[in-house]
Chain A
Amino acid sequence: MKIQKILLYGFGQHENLEINLRPGMNLLYGPNEAGKTTIQQAILHILFGFPQKNQQELRYEPKTGGKYGGCLYIEDQEYGNWMIERVRGKSSGDVLIRFEDGRIMEEAELKRLLRGYDRQAFESIFSFSLFQLQGLEKMDENDLSRTLLASGTTGLDTLWKVEKKMEKEMGSLFKKTGKIPQMNKKLTEIRELEQAMQKEQQKLSMYEPLTSRKQELDEQVATLRLEEQRLYKQSEEQRIAMQIVPLQQQRNQLLEQLSHLTDTFPAAGIRRYEELASKQSELQLKKTRLEKEQSEWQSEWIDLRPTSERQQLERWVTQEAEWHRLRTDRISAEQEIRLLEKKLQQLSNRLGLTHDQQLSIGKMDVSIQRERQLEPILEEQKELDQQLKALQRLLAEAESERQESEQRKEHTERIQLTESERKKLTALPELQHQLAEAKFIVSASDKQASNQMVPVIIMLIGLAIGAYSVLQQQWLFTCLGIVMVAIGAWLWKQRPASVSDQQSFIRDNEPLVAELERLAERDELQQRDQRQVAAEIERLDYKLQKYAEEMEQLYDQKQKAVKKWQDLLQDEPFDLTFNIQESFRLLREFQDAEIDQKTWRLRLLTATQHVQSLIKEVEKVLGPVAEEGLFERIRQELLHQNSLQEKQLSKQKTVLEIKEQLLETNELLETTTAEILQLFTIVGVSEKEQFYTAYQQDQDAQLLKRQLKEVEAQLSLYNKEPLVKEWTILELERQRSETTNRLQIIRQEVEALVDEQVKVGHEISQMGTSQSYSELQQLVEVRKAELEEMTEQWVIRKAVRESIRQTMSEWKEHQLPAVLIQANKWFSYLTGDRYATIGLTAEGYFEAVTAEGQTFMINELSQATKEQAYLSLRLALAYELSERAPFPIIMDDPFVHFDNERLSRMIEILTELQPSHQFLYFTCHQEMKLKWPSEPHTIEIGRKVKGEIY
């Protein structure tokens, strides 16, 4: 592993520094403060990380504040060439590792590239300065040896820890003599299981003996069961005998008793007697009751009217509707009469009649004929009145009109023209003519130029029209043409005389003419009005005269009509003139009402007579009765009479029935008494008491018979008659208890045997299906498997532990000695064989031994020699480790104390190491490069090496 190139972006004083290195020796020269140590530190920083800010080591951050960090290009035989860049980032810096082939690696992988070395371990072997060598002085042997041993085996601690852990775990798994470790526990478990298995096995070995025992039991039980059966049979026989013997004795006894008793009592005799006796007494009772009833009925009296009366009552009831009708007739007649009275009163009021007049009205002729006779006279009268009225009105109108005309006449006279005004008016026509002429002249002169030709043109047109119309024979147009020619000729003749004179004339006379014209107009109007009014007045006067004549005529006529009317009505009791039609109608009504009233009075009378006669009739039968409740009373009476009649009928029926029953009861009583007698005769007694005694005897006999039957039934249950008749109960009892005892004993025996049989059978069948043995066996296998697994765990732990131990001791015993041998070799060469070896004391301290065998502790050596001893050891270690850790060796002027000879020897040793290690030798001594036989690759560090990085 070699550094090819160092690139520093910013590190201490260095900025953008590039240093190319070669395999083998690289001499980096620079005077003091050139930054040699900075570069050396930069390499370590980049590889192992920037120191933490709180650490002692310097971080070399650029004071200028520029980019911090750098990059190393590494040639690596094992992993392939790679570069590492470390720049400012997290406190140890951000790392980028890239391989030549472009692979990028995680920071975690860096550890592998650095072969597991950390900075401390790296520094302890591969990087050292004079200062560190000087520091050697302060170490005691112990420190030194530990440093040496630990260097290059950074994980030693780790391995040691792992070894301890394995040891511990092994201990928890297994101990030769112990109970707690898992495997020991498992062993105990297995042994226990095996014991349990043995027990189980023993149990199972009982199978065969148990089977034979079972057979034995089966046989025994069978024999005993036979014996039991026999005994049981015997005991049963005895038991039956014991039951039968007393029964037989009882039967005999009963038969004996029965032979003394007769049996003549009729079947159910007592019941029959008792029934008859009760029937007899019952009948007796009935008879008495009936007789009593009969007498009661006969003594009862019923108050009933004779049939004719009842019939009368019924008839009246049927007349009830007639009765009510009569009564309502009476009432309505009364009402009607009252109403008519009222009406008559009203009419008489309306006609304004006196009492006498009323009475006379009846004789009045109010016929329609008479009415017609009167009517036209009255009408004529009326009409004349109307005509008179109309004529008077017309007369008044004519008079007012005449008055108006008179007024208007006055008015027109007031507005008549004065004399002066009339004079002026006479001059007007002359003036008008003059003015018109003047105006024409003025207008003609105005149009002279243009109008010169106008009359000519008009004449021409007129000729043309005339010619044309002549041709066409249109005479109207011919006239037109002549007119036009005339106009044209007139116009031609008109010639303006003197225009200006004419104009002034017009101005002077125009207003005067206008005024006169107005005056003339007024006069004319006034004269016309005057004429009109005069005509009007004349006409009205004539009219008035005519009206007066007419009026006179009408009065005459009226006088005549009145006279005629008065002649006709001279005889009437009262005046009919007022309203002849109405009076006639009312009079007629009055007469009608009087007639009606008369009729109603007649009807009332008849109805009242009927009612009174009926009441009288009824009172004759029922005594005094109010008219209102008459029929109520009749009906009640009728109902009462009907119920009485019914009662009478039922009484007659009941009396008949009772009579019949009485007859029947007497017959039954006789029969019953006969039957009782018959019963007594059968039993042979005459008294009731005797009959009962006979009955008691019969009852006793019946009981005995029943008992006998029972006994016989019981006996019939035992189909076999007892074999030995001479057995007594006592003897039987004795024999039976004997049998029972024996039976009991045998039964107990059987029971015990059967119990055992069952138990044995159960055990056998349980054994057959028992899993416990195979379960245990399986469990043992499981435990064994577990034990095996644990053992495996234990074995691999032991293997790890042992391999670590062996490796460590191998290092101690073989690698370290190898290092020492190499170190000795170099040390003695460096010192020119002054010292033979560097060795370890028994206590583990280093010591140097001279060629003569004299030993020196390290701190007893001179400074240079001490440094040489130290260097020898380090280099020997690097040499030994060259395969595992082929790192470049970085040195900071460690040879300054060396004399030339020892220095050249040192350089020889370094050369020897060069194939496997690259060397970076920093020095401030320019002549150092001269010490090498062939000049090494030299890099000068200073301001001039400052370069650019691309």
Chain B
Amino acid sequence: MEPIRFLHTADLHLDSPFKGMAAAGPDELARLQQSTFAAFDRFIAYAVKERPDFIVIVGDIYDGEDRSLRAQIRFQQGMQQLQKVNIPVYLSYGNHDNLSGRWTRVSLPENVHVFSEQVEQKQLAIRDDIIYLHGFSYPQRHVKEPMIRDYPEATDGIHIGLLHGSVAGDVEHAVYAPFTVSELQDKHYQYWALGHIHKRQLLSEEPPIVYPGNIQGRHRNESGQKGFYDVLLTSTQTSMKFVGTSDIMYTSLTVSCEGIEYADDWVSACQEAIDQLTAEAGSVVVELVMEQTEGLTNDLARVEGQWLDILREQYEAIEPFVWISAIEWPPIHDSVVPNSLLEPVERTMSSWETNDWHDLVKEVYSHKAGRYLEALKPVDFERLKQQATALLKNELLKES
């Protein structure tokens, strides 16, 4: 068997809106929204240059069931480019761009092969070898059945599985077409091309069961370099090369304020750190984490919102793009708030259970506003508690 080379990508989420971008202006938003396309263009450019034998895209090409028309046309253009250089594309739709969605279809060129609602097999001859590709597209948003059961076991030839879903029992993500690693292994395929989870990960080496992650981070939980895999299958082994496509990287940056007292020094320290970061990573959305803030004048830490704006202004309308999403300050320790006041109140707050917290927020979350809010988890409550304590301290300090 001659080596077979293909690209594995998933979760393009073209034209996806970016979450948590409060306070960002239209320019910044436009720049961000452009980034999924930019990442996609990089992917296409790579393919055109490297000429792999074929490409697999495992679901969530579009972000919404409504499939942004702009995204569809951009995708169509990308596919046309691949057609020109005769690269076949095998793709399935995932939960985000499931088939029941209401959208206007944009026809795709003939080199694109789409998997249907049922698990199906597609054949492809590469030189002397026949490649069998297995996969399905999501008929609707939720596919809770373990679709893995419909995948046939491998026969002769090379088998590659396309599966958009999550590992059964994963509490962090909602359940989509659940599977276990051993179930996949039992199919004896040469490569499992997974999609759905945006974090790049290798579930197994033998055979490779791979989440390539998405090609462009869209919020703070999708940090770091994003991209796809360039896979080389030979009869004996499989090698994979990760290729980065991120146009803008989500990341966090720790800034030490040691020896800094005044605001201007602090601003330049932050700038220096950011400049260093962009020199390495290019455009970023960055969360600054302050450290060793003891030396800073008190008012610097206490009006942090203002300083965030000042820092943001430094990076307005420049390339590489820099958006400072937040500045995290260490809690204030040196307060002289009388414990006799603070402690009982803090104690009261600490005594609250998750249910108490739910009761507390019910007023908003059961309101129609709740529709637009992410459900709160115990972790969030812990964070909120800390914030509330800090606020209380601050307020008491101001009042006394």
Question: Which residues of chain A are near B317, meaning CB under 8 Å?
Answer: none
- The distance from the CB of B302 to the nearest CB of chain A, in whole angstroms, is 16
- Which chain A residues in 228-287 approach chain B with CB under 8 Å? none
* B11-19, B108-116, B157-165, B178-186: which lies at the interface: B11-19
Question: Which residues of chain B are near A767, meaning CB under 8 Å?
Answer: 69
* Cα–Cα distance between A116 and B335 once the two chains are bound (Å): 12
Closest to B367 in A: A176
Closest to B356 in A: A802
In the assembled complex, B279 has its CB within 8 A of some CB on chain A: no
Establish whether residues B400 and A158, one from each chain, have CB atoms under 8 Å apart when the complex forms.
Answer: yes
Interface size class of B (residues with CB under 8 A): 35 or more
Establish whether residues A155 and B17, one from each chain, have CB atoms under 8 Å apart when the complex forms.
Answer: no
Question: Which residue of B18, B68, B340 contacts A116 across the interface (Cβ within 8 Å)?
Answer: B340
- The distance from the CB of B339 to the nearest CB of chain A, in whole angstroms, is 7
Establish whether residues B338 and A155, one from each chain, have CB atoms under 8 Å apart when the complex forms.
Answer: yes
Question: Which residues of chain A are near B68, meaning CB under 8 Å?
Answer: 773-774, 777
Question: Would you give the 0/1 interface string for B24-39, flagging 1 where the beta carbon is closer than 8 Å to chain A?
Answer: 1010011011000000
* Cα–Cα distance between A804 and B343 once the two chains are bound (Å): 11
In the assembled complex, A605 has its CB within 8 A of some CB on chain B: no
In the assembled complex, B364 has its CB within 8 A of some CB on chain A: yes
Establish whether residues B360 and A798, one from each chain, have CB atoms under 8 Å apart when the complex forms.
Answer: yes
Question: Which residues of chain B are near A780, meaning CB under 8 Å?
Answer: 17
* Cα–Cα distance between A558 and B167 once the two chains are bound (Å): 190
Question: Which residues of chain A are near B30, meaning CB under 8 Å?
Answer: 771, 775
Question: Which residue of B22, B73, B363, B391 contacts A785 across the interface (Cβ within 8 Å)?
Answer: B22
Question: Would you give the 0/1 interface string for B44-72, flagging 1 where the beta carbon is closer than 8 Å to chain A?
Answer: 00000000000000000000101011110
Establish whether residues A771 and B70, one from each chain, have CB atoms under 8 Å apart when the complex forms.
Answer: yes
* Cα–Cα distance between A767 and B352 once the two chains are bound (Å): 52
Residues A204 and B373 in contact in the complex (CB < 8 Å), given A115-B340, A165-B395? no
Most chain A CB within 10 A, of B21, B343, B388, is at B388
- The distance from the CB of A764 to the nearest CB of chain B, in whole angstroms, is 10
Establish whether residues A786 and B22, one from each chain, have CB atoms under 8 Å apart when the complex forms.
Answer: yes
Question: Would you give the 0/1 interface string for A88-132, flagging 1 where the beta carbon is closer than 8 Å to chain B?
Answer: 000000000000000000001101100111000000000000000
Question: Which residues of chain B are near A802, meaning CB under 8 Å?
Answer: 360
* Cα–Cα distance between A444 and B264 once the two chains are bound (Å): 140
In the assembled complex, B125 has its CB within 8 A of some CB on chain A: no
* A51-59, A297-305, A717-725, A787-795: which lies at the interface: A787-795
Question: Which residues of chain A are near B368, meaning CB under 8 Å?
Answer: 187
Task: Give 5 closest A-B pairs by Cβ, nearest first.
Answer: A116-B338, A155-B341, A799-B388, A778-B17, A785-B22
In the assembled complex, A587 has its CB within 8 A of some CB on chain B: no
In the assembled complex, A207 has its CB within 8 A of some CB on chain B: yes
Q: Which B residues have a C-beta under 8 Å from some C-beta of A?
A: 15, 17-24, 26, 29-30, 32-33, 64, 66, 68-71, 73, 102, 104-105, 336, 338-341, 343-349, 352, 360-361, 363-364, 367-369, 372-374, 384-385, 387-388, 391-392, 395-396, 399-400
Closest to B24 in A: A782
* Cα–Cα distance between A112 and B341 once the two chains are bound (Å): 11
Closest to B368 in A: A187
Establish whether residues B19 and A785, one from each chain, have CB atoms under 8 Å apart when the complex forms.
Answer: yes
Question: Which residue of B26, B64, B384, B400 contacts A155 across the interface (Cβ within 8 Å)?
Answer: B400
Establish whether residues A207 and B372, one from each chain, have CB atoms under 8 Å apart when the complex forms.
Answer: no
Question: Which residues of chain B are near A810, meaning CB under 8 Å?
Answer: 344, 348
* Cα–Cα distance between A155 and B338 once the two chains are bound (Å): 8
Question: Which residue of B64, B336, B344, B387 contacts A109 across the interface (Cβ within 8 Å)?
Answer: B336
* Cα–Cα distance between A162 and B338 once the two chains are bound (Å): 14
Establish whether residues B391 and A797, one from each chain, have CB atoms under 8 Å apart when the complex forms.
Answer: yes
* Cα–Cα distance between A117 and B341 once the two chains are bound (Å): 10
Question: Which residues of chain B are near A803, meaning CB under 8 Å?
Answer: 345-346, 348-349, 352, 388, 392
In the assembled complex, A341 has its CB within 8 A of some CB on chain B: no
In the assembled complex, A350 has its CB within 8 A of some CB on chain B: no
* Cα–Cα distance between A798 and B356 once the two chains are bound (Å): 12
Establish whether residues A112 and B338, one from each chain, have CB atoms under 8 Å apart when the complex forms.
Answer: yes
Establish whether residues B392 and A789, one from each chain, have CB atoms under 8 Å apart when the complex forms.
Answer: no
Establish whether residues B69 and A785, one from each chain, have CB atoms under 8 Å apart when the complex forms.
Answer: no
Establish whether residues A771 and B372, one from each chain, have CB atoms under 8 Å apart when the complex forms.
Answer: no
Residues A782 and B388 in contact in the complex (CB < 8 Å), given A115-B339, A176-B367, A208-B104? no
- The distance from the CB of A266 to the nearest CB of chain B, in whole angstroms, is 82
* Cα–Cα distance between A117 and B372 once the two chains are bound (Å): 46
* Cα–Cα distance between A114 and B20 once the two chains are bound (Å): 45
Residues A769 and B340 in contact in the complex (CB < 8 Å), given A158-B400, A788-B373, A803-B388? no
Question: Which residues of chain A are near B17, meaning CB under 8 Å?
Answer: 774, 777-778, 780-781
In the assembled complex, A205 has its CB within 8 A of some CB on chain B: yes
* Cα–Cα distance between A806 and B348 once the two chains are bound (Å): 7
Establish whether residues A784 and B33, one from each chain, have CB atoms under 8 Å apart when the complex forms.
Answer: no
Question: Which residues of chain B are near A544, meaning CB under 8 Å?
Answer: none
Given contacts A782-B21, A791-B361, A803-B388, 15 further A-B contacts (CB under 8 A): A183-B364, A190-B372, A204-B104, A205-B102, A769-B70, A774-B33, A781-B19, A783-B372, A788-B374, A789-B22, A795-B361, A800-B388, A803-B352, A807-B348, A884-B340
